[in-house]
Amino acid sequence: MALRLTTIRIWICVALLSIADTVLAQGQPQSQVGYVRTIGRPGKPGVPVPDAVIRWRGTVNATRSAQDGRFSTPMPGKRNGDPIVLQSVSKAGYELKDKGLIGRQQAFSTQVPIEIVMVNIRQLEADKERIEKNAYKTAELNYKKRLNQLQQQIDKQEITIEQYRQELDDLERKYESYQALISEMADRYARTDYDKLDSIDYHINMCIEDGQLERADSLIHTVFDPETVLERNRAAKQEIEQRKVFAQSVIDKALADKAAILRDLDYARRVVTLSNNLADEFLVQGDTGNAIECLEKSLEILTIIDGEDSEQAKLTRRKLQALTQ
């Protein structure tokens, strides 16, 4: 009888410790994970951004990205699919590529990381300055070339004075229009993430790089051509379908996890009952030490699953106090 009780006691202790670890892990706050990186440039993939400070609306503490750019923000009470909103991302010498990310509602997920892309301000300004200088140089050369052509035409009397004036006016308008594009195109190019670039955007940026801003502007407008939009929508639809499949798998897993948790809790309560019964058997035999050990394990698991102020935990605590006095 004593051997049987000792064997059962050992099994109970091992089972209690195993369940305690499982329930503790399940009770940990859910966390939103993600990573911070720089934009990719031609031939230079984006790199991790360490020590970026990430704040989410409704959370007390900020999260700091690690050396590999990864971060994990505990969000107690959040479930997969719940809305979360980024409040701020800060890092000295950097700014967000997409400033609209702040305040935008996103879906919480314990499995899908959120990507935050930043731009090195020094690199941003250097790229903009280079593109603007190249664009102004191209504009100046084209302007002078066309001006010389017009002068030769008027000298050879190939065009009238009136035509000459009209051509000059048209040249001035085009030059002013080109200048208006320079700053906008330079900023667009400098913020482009080459790690996530489709073929149309690639050609647009190559035109900007070469100073062909009017060609780039024309390509940008073709993005809104019905056929182009339709093709992009097909790709977007495929991506959405893939996300839907993944989201459904997350939901299915969450439901399975919920069932597993409920089974574990039921199992934990049955082990608590068995442990309490075993403590009573030890008391009948006068083995107070083993009875106390079983009650302590029982109290440990009760505190985890119900809290230390639950009625059953209080009752078990009183039994322990009576045996240890």
Residues in the chain: 325
The structure tokens listed for 113 are 């990381």
Whose CA is closest to 56, among 113, 99, 104? 104
The string of pLDDT tens digits covering residues 83-126 is 899 999 999 999 999 888 899 888 888 888 899 999 999 999 99
- What's at 170, amino acid-wise? D
Q: What is the CB neighbour count within 10 angstroms for residue 25?
A: 8
pLDDT band at 224; cut points 50, 70, 90: very low
The whole-model pTM stands at 0.52
Q: What is the DSSP letter of 207?
A: H
Residue 89 contacts residue 98 (beta carbons within 8 Å): no
CATH architecture, range 30-120: Sandwich (2.60)
The string of pLDDT tens digits covering residues 136-190 is 888 888 888 888 988 898 888 888 888 888 988 888 888 888 887 888 888 888 8
Write out the H or E segment, with its range, that includes residue 319. Answer: helix 311-324
pLDDT band at 19; cut points 50, 70, 90: very low
CA atoms within 13 A of residue 75's CA, in its CB half-sphere: 23
| Residue 244 CB contacts under 8 Å (≥ 6 apart), including other chains | none
Q: What is the percent of the chain where pLDDT is above 90?
A: 17
pLDDT value at 130 more than 90: no
Residue 201 contacts residue 223 (beta carbons within 8 Å): no
Cα–Cα distance, 290 to 32 (Å, whole number): 44
- What are the angstrom distances between the C-alpha of 127 and each of 39, 144, 177? 13, 26, 22
The structure tokens listed for 176 are 């002013």
Domain ranges of the chain: 30-120, 122-225, 246-324
Pick the CATH number of 246-324 from 3.30.70, 3.90.550, 1.20.58, 1.20.120: 1.20.58
